[in-house]
Structure 1
Amino acid sequence: MKVSREWLNEWIPNEVPVSELAEKITRGGIEVDEIIDYTAEVKNLVVGYVKTVEQHPEADRLRICQVDTGEETHQIICGAPNVKADSYVVVCKVGGRLPGGIKIKRAKLRGEVSEGMICSLEELGIKEDQVPAEYQNGIFMFQEEKMAGEDALAALLLDDQVMEFDLTPNRKDALSMAGAAYETRALFGGEVALPAHAVEDGTGSSALEIRNADTEAVPFYGARIVTGVAIAPSPTWMQMRLIKAGIRPINNVVDISNYVLLEFGQPLHMFDRDQIGSDEIVTRYAHENEKMTTLDGRERKLESGDIVITNGSEPIALAGVMGGEFSEVTDQTTSVVIESAVFNPVSIRRTSGRLNLRSEASARFEKGVSHEFVLKALDRAALLLTQYAGGTVASSVLSSGELDVEDTTINITKAFINSHLGMELETAEIQETLSKLGLSTAVDGDALEVSVPSRRDDLKIKQDITEEVARIYGYDALPSSMPDTSTTSGKLTDEQKKTRTIRHQLESLGLSQAINYALTSREKAEQFNELEGTVELLMPMSEDHAVLRKSMIPHLVDNVVYNRNRQQKDVQFYEIGRIFQSNGTGVLPEEREMLAGVITGEMNRTDWLGTKVPADFFAAKGIVESVFAKLGLGDSIRYEQSSRFDTMHPGRTADVLLDNERIGTIGELHPKYAQQNDLDRTAVFEIDLDRLLSVKQGNIFYDQLSRYPSITRDIALVVDRTVAADTLVRTVETAAGKHLVDVFVFDVYEGDNMEAGKKSVALRLTYLNKEHTLTDEEIEKQHTPVLEALVANGAQIR
């Protein structure tokens, strides 16, 4: 809502600076987003009278104007196609300034002197879409006679500042000048003066009948008929107030309906009486699949929840949203029916949302209009039509239904207010604060009975009254206190600490964090996982955002592709986020926190040493193992070769097992899948982070370093190519005695001099006794069972 300071002063005089006014309104609960100052940067702007207009001898599109600016007549060259003699215009004199830092100087245009500039509204800071059609692509001309030389800003009502209110949904009362005036009264005092709205009823009888077929849809419908209307531009002052409020002027009849809407917050609609097509107006819910053509020329298919205004047989308007095409006011209109009604706000909200038809009127009807202003707005519009459209009120108010204009009451006590605000207000102070809002109170001891007028029907419960007291009394007056420090001090949970450790570790290894949408396409949702079912959106933004992801790897691959397409060849990303597993229709999905990563190109490149690490399976496995080591889980993790996903390389993919439970996957992308995405060798990993963080670590015990040397033994084995090295390591660990402290694979050979289907695997075993130096006999006693176990499991000792 844009509130003009000049217009507001007509409702309630107030002399405080606009900055102070905006500050106090903001502190009172209505945020003022912006103050638009039309006087900023403007200098030497006067009203000019155009005496003569002649064609420029050297330019077809330029005209030489002799303009009286009060003190003298100046020659001004103007290129506007609509400039004409005997008109009053806005002139910026030599030495003047316009918004945007434009300075006006004496100049020569094609050999002719120009002393000043005749201005358009756009050049005065008015947005193009708010300029009346007759002045677009041309200069502005006053509708009324003015005095040459007078202040043009004052004549245009632009010596003004406009406050833009950012209203919360509960403050619908401030969607009007009346609401802004009552708010100003509450904060600064004074009395609100409503604009003149009394109108004499016509002496003739009306042939128009009003009937509400459904009082739930339309609790009240009122109308007046004004005849003898002449369509013309509205007066300049009305046009400028509409422009400052962000509404483009059209003609006097349409402008009056918009002007009254801004005054009282009550939307109106004007029908051409002669085009209604009958002698009755009937309001009802629409029939299913009923059709009508709205003012924008589009045929609309209606639903049974839409409210329509009909002529008894067919719709002539979509209630509260948009009028019908054939009953609109045109230049030939001479008789007008003014509509002022109360519609079901829920129905209006659904209709405007479904048809995407949002307007100033629908925004107010959606929140519910004040019954107090329904008839006042109707009478005000009729009065303005008689004054500025030459109309005559034909009859009294025509209506159907009832208006609820009775005050509602809320009972509250001083103790309730003080206990909620932490204050010690007296009953008289509370009563005075509420009276500033126009809420009368009846006092009985500490109890108050608050009467709430219909314009503030957002006040419904005791807490609303308490909030109003705090708001008007001043939030700054609320007592401050130190927080209770007896509660437990805040700290990170064990899961949060571990998550930070994981982030720090991955970033220290050169990975950057990625954050992707949880929404993906149906095709990508099926990749890199074996989860059953998919959680689909009812109304997706696009096919690429139609379902919730079941793996984070597809999006990380997209991130790599995006970077590779921008010449970033070495890319390493990780992401911590959630995947979603469907539990069936009507049941919330299961959410799992996951850790995923992707690497491609080269890692740890040092050009001066000529070293680098390829981003392959082993690099990804090393990254993941470093995370496990940081979490103290290295001894609980093992790996098994896997070929479960057709998007992963069948020979370079492994499942990650925690205590023999699969918690994730590490591997390289399948060459075909990588090629489809224009990628080189790329490795990925995805780990169930919830399962990882669920492992609780006990106390850490440290051992003294051994004073005795360790002994190593190497074993060279020939095994089938299908035997995993991990299987051999597990066999050794099971068969060895207590002094085995380490075993690892240090060589694998497949090639010449090796039997087909076989491979050579070399293991290094480390033995250590922390109490004394091991002898050869002790080592052989523990090493021999290891060799026997390996042979028993099909290995040959080389």
Structure 2
Amino acid sequence: MKVSREWLNEWIPNEVPVGTLAEKITRGGIEVDEIIDYASEVKNLVVGYVKTVSQHPEADRLRICQVDTGDETHQIICGAPNVEAGAYVVVCKVGGRLPGGIKIKRAKLRGEVSEGMICSLEELGIKEDHVPTEYQNGIFIFQEARKPGEDALSALLLDDQVMEFDLTPNRKDALSMAGAAYEARALFGGEVKVPTHEVTEGSETTSLEVRNADVDAVPYYGARVVENVKIAPAPTWMQMRLIKAGIRPINNVVDISNYVLLEFGQPLHMFDRDQIGSDEIVTRYAHDAEKMTTLDGKERTLQSEDIVITNGKEPIALAGVMGGEFSEVTDQTTNVVIESAVFNPVSIRKTSGRLNLRSEASARFEKGVSHEFVVQALDRAALLLEQYAGGTVASSIISDGTLSVEDTEISITEAFINAHLGMTLTTEEIQDTLFKLGLEVEVSDETLLVSIPSRRDDLKIKQDITEEVARIYGYDALPSSMPAASTTSGKLTDEQKKTRIVRHQLESLGLSQTINYALTSRVQAEQFNELEGTVELLMPMSEDHAVLRKSMIPHLIDNVVYNKNRQQKDIQFYEIGRIFKSNGHGALPEEREMLAGILTGEMNRTDWLGTKVPADFFAAKGVVESVLEKLGLTGNVRYERSARFDALHPGRSADVLLNNERIGFIGELHPKFAQQNDLDRTAVFEVDLNRLLSVKQGNIIYDQLSKYPSITRDIALVVDDTMAADTLVRTVEAAAKKYLVDVFVFDVYEGDNMEAGKKSIGLRLTYLNKEDTLTDEEIEKQHTPVLEALESNGAQIR
């Protein structure tokens, strides 16, 4: 909504600078995006009277004009095709300046002196789309006589600043000059002066009748017939106000309907009375597949939710959106029907959206119009047609339906407002603030009964009144205070500290963090997990975002594919986020905080040394173990071979167990799955971060470094190829009762010289007595039970 300062002053006089006005309006809740100052770059612009026009002797397209500028007559060369003697025009004199820094100097054009410039509206800073058709390829000509030499900016109403309101959807009341005036009154005081709209009605009765076939579609429809209008350009002042509001003038009849729309926010429509085709206007919902041709010449196929204005037989307008072609006002129109109505806003919104017909009228109808201005706008338009189109109002208003103009009421108390604002306003201060908004308040004891006019039907509950008091009284006046409740010093929780440790460790290993949507496709939701059920969205935006994820690995794979397609080969990502386990229909899902990662290409590559680490299962396992070590959980975690997921390599994947409870997995992608995603060897991991963070760690107890040497014993074992090395390690740890400090798998061999179905595993055992030097006898006492335990579990000592 563009609000002219000059026009606003006609509604409510205000002398504060426009910058102050805009700032206070913004602080009051309506953001002023821009202030357009038409006079800021203009100098020495006057009204000129063209006395004579003659052909330039050396140029077919140039005219020599003698122009009276008040103090003297100047010769000005003009190339506009519409320049003519007797016209009042806009002249920029020598020494003047136009928007864009254009300076006007005395010049010679093809041998003839030119002292100034006759201007078009575009040259004054008006957008071409807003210039009337008759002036688009030429200069501007005043519709009425002016005084030569007077200030042209004032004559054009361009000695003005225009504020562009960026309105929120709930502030439909400010989509008019009336709304802007009431807002200015609330912020600066004064009284709103509503333009004259009383009209003298004709004594004759009209044959036109109005009927609403569906009250839900059209609660109220009113019309007036104005006869003997003369189609002509609207007066200059009206054209310029429309131009400043961003509307291109057409003719006096159409311009009056747009002008009244901007005044009251009530859209009107003008029909050619003689082209309607009957003596009745019937409003109804359209029939399915019904067709009509709109003003833009396009045939529209209608639906049953569209509202149409008909002549009793066929549509003559698409209600609230666009008029029909055969009933539009043309240069031959003499009798006009003015429509002012209330339409179902939901229907208007759906129709304009489906047909992509957005207009000033539909923008207001779809938000709901103010009932108190429906009849006023109708009368105002009839009055202006009398004054500026020479028309005669034929009869009284023809209408059908009920127009509710009674105020609604909201009961509120001083205590309620102060409790929500944290202020100590008195009843008088609250009453005065609401009065500035044009709201009547009746006080009874501690209760305030606020009357809400229909122009502010966005105010529905007590909280709305509280908000109005706050913004008009001033958000800056709201007191600031510290919370009264006792507080503790801010610090990170144990979980937050550990999460930061995890992030720091992963990033120090070269992994980059990713953040993905929690929504995924139904196919990806079933990958890399065994959770039953899926949480589905009722109205998903797309199939790719239809359900909540149950694993973070599919999104990480997508991230790697995206980067690999952009020539990134060595990629290491991690993500900390949530997955969702369904608890059945109607129940909230269980949310689990997870840690996931993906590795592909090469890691820790150093070209100068020629070293690198492949992103395989062991690299992923090393990343997980480094995180566990940082959290102090290495001794609580073990790994078991796994083949639970088809998308993972069956021989290169393992479950992660914390205190014998499975909390995640590590593995390489199955070669076929990797090939389907155009990936090379790729490893992934996913663990339950909540479980890792939930393990409470006690105080760390440090041992003094032993001054006695340790002793190692290597054991080579032949076992079945199905036996896991971890089983042997746990057997050793259980059998060694004393001095054993480490068991390390240093070799695994399968191949030549090894029996089929067997493999060789080498274990290195480290013994240490922290209080004395170990002897061979002491070692043998501990080592012999270990060998016996291994043999009893099927291992053969080599």
How many Å separate the matches in 2 of 1:548 and 1:140?
63
Q: Deviations over 1:175-229 (max 9, x none)?
A: 2111111121222222211112111112322112112234343332211122333
> Given the alignment of the two structures, is residue 696 of structure 1 paired with residue 695 of structure 2, yes or no?
yes
- 1:661 positional shift: 3.5
Q: Tell me which amino acid in the other structure corresponds to 1:276.
A: I
Change (3 A) 1:513 1:65: farther
Q: Deviations over 1:604-623 (max 9, x none)?
A: 33444444333333222222
Q: Tell me which amino acid in the other structure corresponds to 1:68.
A: V
Aligned to 1:705: 704
How many Å separate the matches in 2 of 1:512 and 1:463?
47
Alignment of 1:640-655 (within 5 A): 640-655=640-655
How many Å separate the matches in 1 of 2:762 and 2:676?
38
Q: Deviations over 1:480-514 (max 9, x none)?
A: 43321514555444433333222222222222222
Contact kept in structure 1, 2:632 and 2:697, CA below 8 Å: no
> Given the alignment of the two structures, is residue 788 of structure 1 paired with residue 788 of structure 2, yes or no?
yes
Aligned to 2:157: 157
Q: Tell me which amino acid in the other structure corresponds to 1:158.
A: L
Q: Deviations over 1:546-587 (max 9, x none)?
A: 544443333333333333344433332222233345566666
Q: Tell me which amino acid in the other structure corresponds to 1:780.
A: E
Change (3 A) 1:445 1:507: same
Contact kept in structure 1, 2:74 and 2:115, CA below 8 Å: no
Tell me which moved more, 175-184 or 389-398.
389-398
Contact kept in structure 1, 2:106 and 2:113, CA below 8 Å: yes
Aligned to 1:364: 364
Alignment of 1:243-642 (within 5 A): 243-287=243-287, 292-296=292-296, 297-303=298-304, 305-353=305-353, 356-444=356-444, 447-532=447-532, 534-537=534-537, 540-581=540-581, 589-642=589-642
- 1:379 positional shift: 0.7
Q: Deviations over 1:290-330 (max 9, x none)?
A: 55554452523423x54443333444334333434443434
Aligned to 1:732: 732
How many Å separate the matches in 1 of 2:527 and 2:104?
66
Q: Tell me which amino acid in the other structure corresponds to 1:574.
A: Y
How many Å separate the matches in 1 of 2:552 and 2:111?
71
- 1:352 positional shift: 4.3
Q: Tell me which amino acid in the other structure corresponds to 2:277.
A: G
Alignment of 1:710-725 (within 5 A): 710-725=710-725
Change (3 A) 1:212 1:783: same
Contact kept in structure 2, 1:561 and 1:678, CA below 8 Å: yes
Change (3 A) 1:603 1:116: farther
How many Å separate the matches in 1 of 2:264 and 2:489?
52
Aligned to 1:8: 8
How many Å separate the matches in 1 of 2:87 and 2:684?
76
Alignment of 1:105-120 (within 5 A): 120=120
- 1:139 positional shift: 5.4
- 1:375 positional shift: 0.6
Contact kept in structure 1, 2:289 and 2:301, CA below 8 Å: no
The percent identity for this pair of structures is 81
Q: Deviations over 1:327-367 (max 9, x none)?
A: 34344443322211223334444544555544333332333
Q: Deviations over 1:408-457 (max 9, x none)?
A: 44444445444544444444444433332223344455554444333233
How many Å separate the matches in 1 of 2:64 and 2:793?
109
TM-score (norm 1): 0.88
How many Å separate the matches in 1 of 2:116 and 2:571?
62
- 1:473 positional shift: 3.0
Q: Deviations over 1:696-755 (max 9, x none)?
A: 314234142353433222222233444333333233333332432221222233444444
Contact kept in structure 2, 1:91 and 1:117, CA below 8 Å: yes
Q: Unpaired runs of 5+ in structure 1?
A: none
How many Å separate the matches in 2 of 1:103 and 1:559?
58
TM-score (norm 2): 0.88
Change (3 A) 1:720 1:358: farther
How many Å separate the matches in 1 of 2:113 and 2:605?
71
How many Å separate the matches in 2 of 1:650 and 1:74?
96
- 1:638 positional shift: 2.5
How many Å separate the matches in 1 of 2:490 and 2:289?
59
Aligned to 1:239: 239
> Given the alignment of the two structures, is residue 30 of structure 1 paired with residue 30 of structure 2, yes or no?
yes
Tell me which moved more, 376-385 or 423-432.
423-432
Change (3 A) 1:626 1:173: same
Contact kept in structure 2, 1:53 and 1:84, CA below 8 Å: no
SS in 2 for 1:170: coil
Change (3 A) 1:778 1:48: farther
Tell me which moved more, 34-43 or 65-74.
65-74
Tell me which moved more, 94-103 or 387-396.
94-103
Aligned to 1:658: 658
Aligned to 2:188: 188
> Given the alignment of the two structures, is residue 197 of structure 1 paired with residue 197 of structure 2, yes or no?
yes
Q: Unpaired runs of 5+ in structure 2?
A: none
How many Å separate the matches in 2 of 1:67 and 1:690?
89
Tell me which moved more, 342-351 or 372-381.
342-351
How many Å separate the matches in 2 of 1:582 and 1:357?
43
Aligned to 1:68: 67
Contact kept in structure 2, 1:77 and 1:109, CA below 8 Å: no
SS in 1 for 2:223: strand
Q: Report how many residues are paired.
A: 793
SS in 1 for 2:366: helix
Change (3 A) 1:200 1:702: same
- 1:85 positional shift: 6.9
Contact kept in structure 1, 2:512 and 2:574, CA below 8 Å: yes
Contact kept in structure 1, 2:77 and 2:109, CA below 8 Å: no
How many Å separate the matches in 2 of 1:94 and 1:679?
74
Contact kept in structure 1, 2:210 and 2:398, CA below 8 Å: yes
Contact kept in structure 2, 1:8 and 1:177, CA below 8 Å: yes
Tell me which moved more, 153-162 or 745-754.
745-754
How many Å separate the matches in 1 of 2:250 and 2:521?
47
Change (3 A) 1:716 1:3: same
Tell me which moved more, 711-720 or 435-444.
435-444
Q: Tell me which amino acid in the other structure corresponds to 1:391.
A: G
SS in 2 for 1:732: helix
